[in-house]
Amino acid sequence: MSDIYEELKDQGLEAWAILIYDQVGEAPTADYCKSYRDGHKLKLRVLYDPHEDDGNGNMVPRTRAYGDKETSIISNEEGIIVYEAHSDLPDLLRTTIESELAAGIGECSTQDMCKDKDCVLTPQGDAKICSTTCTYGDDTTCPEGEVCWRYSEDDASGACFSPDLLPSE
């Protein structure tokens, strides 16, 4: 991750390494983070996850919901998680990060960020945005103020867009 960070930080990438255990399996400290960062020659920030009582007298990391494996999370400028993996896959991380950095504000780079909508190309084909699937010819299947647009004459369904995003006739 450090190599990816160094390469893409000037494009707006912000990255942190969050440690959940020290070298003996205990809660990390600020001093341990500094030592870890320096020892691994990392340029990105190294943070630690303080442990808390799990209700049974066990001290566990607050991020335990992500498990004990290395977890990579990519979020957009709005703080929406667009990618999450529980392993270290540098090529996949790089591709996802580059896609997210290329996406403008309000655009989607992955399906994950659209929740119950779809990440689709705009009618102009110049960006991807989250949109609702609709029945072509029935604008009532779209949110108020949007119309159903289809990508090809053969499509029975389409995606809902604001009229200002539609190509001019």
List pLDDT tens digits, range 7-64: 888 888 888 888 888 888 888 888 998 999 999 898 888 888 778 888 888 877 777 6
Q: Are residues 39 and 84 in the same domain?
A: yes
* Domain extent for 144: 116-165
Contact in structure between 48 and 27 (CB atoms under 8 Å):
yes
Q: Is residue 108 part of a domain?
A: no
Q: Is residue 111 part of a domain?
A: no
pTM, 2 dp: 0.59
pLDDT at 135: 96
pLDDT at 6: 87
Contact in structure between 31 and 1 (CB atoms under 8 Å):
no
Q: Which amino acid is at 76?
A: N
Identify the CATH number of the domain in which residue 51 sits. 3.40.30.10
